[in-house]
Structure formats: structure tokens, C-alpha cells
Amino acid sequence: MKVSLIKIGGNIIDNPSELEKFLTDFSKIEGHKVLIHGGGKSATKMAESIGLVPQMIDGRRITDAAMLDVVVMIYAGQINKNIVAQLQAKNNNAIGFSGADGNLIQSTKRNHPTIDYGFVGDVKQVNTSLLATLLENNIVPVFCAITHDKNGQLLNTNADTIASELAISLSQDFDVTLTYCFEKQGVLSDSEEDDSVITEINAELYEKLKAEKVIHSGMIPKLDNCFNSLSKGVQTIKIGHHSMLQNSSILHTTIKL
């Protein structure tokens, strides 16, 4: 049985017309599917509006107690419920989830030797049986980037990582395709040239492009998750614009081991 996992982020969420187009494409995907969304730019905007100064290290957000309040409100509230409502309007029976709901995604607070990331989670386990039950009952789960530690603490968790861990979990019983959608056509060799898409990246090329600083910042954790997913059973991984969801000939990046 096939499952399509789609992660959206970047300018798609912040642009109502692009979000509408994406959700139209997503709603037409046949079969079982899961949507995972970020919302970092919206959270940054909200944080700045109340006087907080967002901090990022290598594409990862530092999350103190005040920032955690912001990301929970924006990710699990405003963005998640807006997406669910729009999918219902498109006849997709979606339900919004954080990792705490149904104990679907349990994490541990990140313990880094030199950086205090604050209330940031690293995924520990996925409640695969409940997730599979949802899919088998034709529910479309919509996950935000919030998990929990099973001790009452919510944790900000990278949405790319959540997508990867859900894909790995489901790959035990399903044929999984993982697609990362954002505003670009794929991974670019020149960030200023939208047509400079690298159509295929394997592990060797990835290390070379990182060393040359062609791939940097937030694309690094995204691709790290891609290669981790492939090594643990995920069948297919693509990165690109959401238009490829309904047109496979659209230029995009395919990740291979």
C-alpha cells in the first residue's frame, strides 16, 4: 500500500494564494497521504512583533520559553487549523495533530555539547500503529512542528525531521514517497538562479556541494533527513515546487543514496 508524505514550508505557508494552489494540488493526490508543515517565517514575524529576537543556528531555531509559546500558537494553532479547514473545503477529511495528540510523536529535549537549543526536541519514537489506523480510515493527518516528551513538556521540532521520521516509521508497512515542497523548483546550484536545479543528488555529490558551500544553511538539515530516510527504508524522496505533485515532468530534485 502506498503512502504519500508531503512537507511544506517556506514561502508557501506565508503566501495565501500559493497555499491555496498547494492545497488544491495536495487534495487531488489519490490514496493515503500525510501533510507536515513548518511555519518558521510566520513564527519569526509574530515573535518580532512582541519584541522577541529570533535566533537560528545552522537552520535550527533556538527556542526559549517565550519563543516556545509563540511557535505553539502559530504552528499548532493558526497555521494547522487554517490548513485543516481548507482541506475540509476540498473534501479531504483532515485532522490536525501535534506530536502530543495520541502520543503520535514523542521526542527528547536536545542535549548538545556546546549549544543550548532550549525547548527543542529530537524525535524518539512514532506511534506507527495509530498513524496507520488513521490512514486506513481515510483520515488525512496534518502535523505541525510540535512534539512532546511524555512528561508534559511540548518541544519545538524541525518539520523536515518530523517528515523524515514519519516516513521511516510508515516505511515498515507501506511503500512511502516523501516530498519536500517549497517555493523553489528544487535544490539549486546557484541560489540566485531559479532554473539552476540539481536534478539528482547522491551522498557523494552532497558532501562535495556542502564542502563548496553550494548547499548551506537550512538546506543541510533537510538533506541530512533525506539521506537518513533513504537509508532506513523510504522508497522515494523529491524536493521541489508543489506543482510537481500533479505533474511529474516538472523540474525537481530527486535524492538517491
What's the pLDDT tens digit per position in 164-179?
999 999 999 999 999 9
Confidence of residue 101 (pLDDT cuts 50, 70, 90): very high
Is 39 marked within a binding site? Answer: yes
Q: How many CB atoms lie within 10 A of CB 195?
A: 9
Q: Work out the pLDDT band at 240, boundaries 50, 70, 90.
A: very high
Confidence at residue 1, expressed as pLDDT on a 0 to 100 scale: 87
Q: Which CATH class is domain 2-255?
A: alpha beta
| Contact between residue 45 and residue 54 where contact means Cβ atoms under 8 Å apart | no
Q: In this structure, what DSSP letter does residue 145 have?
A: S
DSSP state of 53: -
Find out whether 40 is annotated in a ligand binding site: yes
pLDDT over 70 percentage in the chain: 99
pLDDT in tens, 38-58: 887 889 999 999 999 988 887
- Domain limits of the chain? 2-255
Distance CA 64, CA 53 (A): 11
**pLDDT at residue 59 tops 80:** no
**Listing from the earlier edge strand, what are the strands of the sheet with 154-156?**
121-126, 105-109, 146-148, 154-156
Q: Count Cα atoms within 13 angstroms, Cβ side, for 22.
A: 27
Each residue's pLDDT tens digit, 73-85: 999 999 999 999 9
The answer to the question of whether 156 is labelled as a binding residue is: yes
